[in-house]
Each structure stands twice: as structure tokens, then as C-alpha cells.
Structure 1
Amino acid sequence: MTGIVETLKEKVLAGNLISKEEAMTLVDVPLEALALAADEIREAFCGNRFDMCTIINGKCGKCSEDCKYCSQSAHYNTNCEESYPLLDTRAILAQAKNNDDRGVLRYSIVTSGKRLSNVEVDQVCESIKTIKAETGIEVCVSFGLLDEEQFRKIKAAGASRVHCNLESSRRFFKEVCSTHTYDEKIETLKAAQRAGLSICSGGIMGLGETMEDRIDMVLTARELGVKSIPVNLLNPIPGTPYEHNRILTNEELCKIVAIFRFLIPDGSIRLAGGRGLVGDKGEKCFKSGANAAISGDMLTTAGITVETDLKLLGELGYEVRLES
């Protein structure tokens, strides 16, 4: 089995992409050999670069969508009681400055709902302009299913990246959400690209999907040219349809990360929501091919502090810097 790992590692190091069938052969190989090979690939393509970002919940709660994992969905009775409209520039800027001062290089504004309205887009564009004028931080956005014209406004305001998770494979997505489609997500990512923005897209592990679903998701992301791939671990929220799902183990998450590294060797494999559930703050994953993370608090759940992350990354020999 380790021979398969070495063969595919050498193929990737030679600059070739592996296929779905080849990726599937990695599913049952011993984790130690797989993780070591994935880390070699990460080092060869990315060096010791580590891409760290933080997020702000720019608009919270009462979401019209029925994503089965989400505490903010209006379809479920969860313990997320907080709800507020789009934050004003002062609040968004204050968090941006705080993160900039602590050495964070990316700051993402995330909003609930299917999409922001044109009025909301105009409002948040003013916030982005102010952030770019008063800090050195990169601004990313996650505003739902916007169109190309809206993304062009966001690009002109100073944002550099759009986030829209695929969540899972096309096959499995219908089990996750019924209020929007996989094709809408893909068109959103393509619209952002046409507007000149880079794109960030990954998914949530532990929804009930198979390893094949995870691989299919990353292959779709690869076809779209995605280089930032968030890997979320489901945190089962009471009141949602997934409240009784089993939390994946650290070893399972490491294997997922390692296979993703084989598939997108030069990408930022980004540990995101749920990282605190694995117990070691992601350390094993950062030795298994992951080289990026969302730091600080998540949208409605606690995360890991920037200071804790910076200490760990220093010990592992990483340098926090943007992709070249």
C-alpha cells in the first residue's frame, strides 16, 4: 500500500495531476505514510508558507436557507439567539484593525442569507474601502450568491477574494440543502472570477458524505481553479438535522487533508470551523499537508486565538505570509 503512496507522490512532484481513481487508492493506505508524503508535497510546492485568515460575522441569523448544519438557519430551532443586520463600517473596521495589528494577513466579512441586496452591497463596499485605506490587511468576502456586476463593485472597493463553499459533492449536496443548488454555487464562483477576484471554496466534513464525495468536491474545486480550500469539521449543533452526527476523529481529518494535498498540491488547504474539536488545535493536520487556517472565533462558535495559532505555527517552522 505504501508503494501506491510513493508512486503518486512522485507523480505529483513531477508536476502531474492525479485522477479521481488514483486519489481513491489513497483512502485505505496507512495514515503515517500518507501524511508524510502529503507534507513532502506541501513543502515542495508551498515551502513553509502558512496562510492565516480571520472572519467577522457581518450579518447574523434569520437565514432563509435550510442548510442542515447551520445554527443561523431560520428553519431550525437552535441555541443561536443572536440576530442583527449588516454591521456598519465602524464595527467592521475595528475588527479589521485588531486583526491587522496582531499579524493576520486576511480578513473575511461573512454574512448570513442567500445573498446581500444591492443596497447592502453598496454599504459593505464603503466598509471595504475604509479598511483598505486604514489598514494593510487583505479583505475577503462571503456574501452569498451574488452576480458578476455586484462582484465588480466589491473588487473595485478593494476586496481580493470571494468565498463560497461547495460544502460537498454534487451528488451529496441535495442532502445538505434544498433552497439553492450546486450550480448556483458554481456560477457564483465563476462570476467572482470573471470580476477579477480569486476564489476560496471547500466544504464540511462529517455531514454523512463518503470519502468519494469529498474527493469529488475537491476535483470540482480544482476544475474551477480554486487554490484556497477550507476544510471544516462538522460541529453538530443542537436543533439542526445533523445534531446527532458523529464528530470525525483527528486521524480521519488528517487523512482527508492529506488526500486533498495530493489533489491540489500548490493550494492552501485551510483548516476552518470545528478545528478545536480535534484536541490538538490542528497540529497533526499541519504535519499532514494543511498549510492554512481560519484563526479566532468562527461565526457562532468559539475558535482558537490568533496568539495560540502563531505560537504553534512558529514551533512547526511555518511563516505566516500570503500566497505568492
Structure 2
Amino acid sequence: MSQSFDIAVIGATGTVGETLVQILEECDFPVGTLHLLASSESAGHSVPFRGKNVRVREVDQFDFSLVKLAFFAAGPAVTRSFAPRASAAGCMLIDLSGGLPAGQAPAVVPEANAQVLATLVAPVQVSSPSASAVALAVALAPLRGLLDLQHVNVTACLAMSTQGHEAVSELARQTTELLNVRPLEPRFFDRQVAFNVLAQVGTPDEQGHALLERRLVQELRELLGLPSLKISVTCLQVPVFFGDSFSVSVRSATPVDLPAVNAALDGAAGVELVEAGDYPTPVGDAVGQDVVYVGRVRGGIDDPEQLNLWLTTDNVRKGAALNAVQLGQLLIKDLL
């Protein structure tokens, strides 16, 4: 593509923002001028891009009319604050924070519901959903034509990077303290996370469900086009730096054809099917890769309508940054 486009990345110094900039370079995205933006605390830092160090500036003063496309990779409050300015300037927006309602910025995963992009009108606003929703949608979308999905039960084992640089540093610090037989002082979390598993991610509501769990249910229904699908989710915080993993149990209204399921997964975009007898792990397989690994494909022990799967993927790269970049590629191809 010979034409180039001026682009902004908000949250450029965060875990996802840095990876997003890296992928823009790797895929030779048609960037003209790249504007890297963040809060006043991060302004002045530099991020490498195409052999140069690009200085990060404050988002508060940015003129969105300078760019055609903006990636919002900061928090929901930042998106809600600056999305109206971007839209008023005619700038397309891809939000990675979950800060915009579905009616305003529909969630899209190219492997699951790319057709939604054709229904959008300028100035386009679209959401790149949570990394967990991306992984599950990529794996389950190829099965919609085979299974009459009735219920999906998910146990999500989330890496520290789900919560950013500070959580990654906390795991490293706690691990060092314990290995050196020093007293452990939890900081980012309220208890020990190194060599441990925390049974919730975030603060639960009155019904006991955390915000991320509710967000995952809503996004997965939207991505699969199944608004009435029953979904149960439990998110766990596990002592892994990068790479989310999921134990998924699916109930169909009819018996599951395992050979057909394996064939559909093996031919699906964004999926790497691991042969029977083996299984993928985040560290050994998923981290740094651009696919969702699927293994341990099996039926229920005594339930022909049940399908069980094990998934793992790089939550920062595939689940967040790459999905957003793929959306950007589709937008500039079809709408600019």
C-alpha cells in the first residue's frame, strides 16, 4: 500500500501500547507520522519506531485533526475523556480499554465478526475487546456452524501483564524476596501472589462477579453473535508474567462430532491446534506468537453433548495489540 496515514497511540508507554507500536513496525503498517501520547507522568519518554526514538507527548494538548486513526491503549477514563475530541475531529478510533458502550463502539475480532465493520459510519469508533474475549472468540467462532452452543463455562488463568507493568514488577519483586528468604511485603496485590493463585481478579460486585468477568461475558456474546448464550466465567490471577490460559467447557444441544471439531479448529485463522497427546503452555508456546493455541480437545467423560478445550495465548500481543492492529488494517483498507 503506497498511501500512508498519520496515526496516534494513546497509552504508548504501557505494556500494550509499547507492543502495539512494535507490531505496527513489524507488519509494515502504512504509518506516515506516528504520534505517541500518554499522561503527563510519561510525557518525555521515548519509544523506538523504525530506527528512531519517538518522543511521547501529553495527550491533553493533542490536536486529533492531525491524524486519521487513533489507538486508545490507556484506561477507560482516558478513552471516555478524549474519544469525543477524536470523533469531533473526524478521527477513527480503536479502543482497547472497554471504556465505550457497545452501541457506540462495537467489539470486533477479525476472525469472529469482521462483518460488523461494514455497518459502521464515519467517524468510526470500534472496540478491540479484552484479551480473554479475543482468545475465546478466535477459538469458538469456528465451531458455531458445528455446535448448537447452549452454555460455555470458562476458567481464565490470567497473567500478571493483564494488569500492566506494575503487576509484572510485583511478581518479580515478590519472587526475589521469597527466594532470598526475606520477609514478603505485598504492595500491588493485597497478599502473596508469587508461587500462589488468587481466586479473583479485581473487586467483586454484590453478586460476587468481578468487572472483568462481566465484561468477558458481554463481549463474548457480542463477538459470537449469540446474545442469549449462557456463559459462566471465573478469572484467576496466576504467577505467570505473560500468557493467559483457559479451561473451557462447552455444552451443545446435540452430540459433539470430535473429528469435525478438530478439522474446523485445524483450518481456522488465528488458531494453532496441538495434536492429541500433547498440550500447549504459555511460556513454551504462546508468548511472542500471533495465534491462540488449542489443545486437549475432548468430549465429556459421560456426556456426548460436552466439549472440553485448553487454550493459551499471548495476552498482550495476540489478545490486545495484534487484534487492534488487525482492526486498523481493515479500517484503512475499507474506509479510508
Q: TM-score, normalised by structure 2?
A: 0.29
The structure with the largest strand share of the pair is: 2
User: Of the two, which has the highest radius of gyration?
Assistant: 2
With a CA cutoff of 8 Å and minimum separation of 6, indicate the structure with the bigger relative contact order. 1
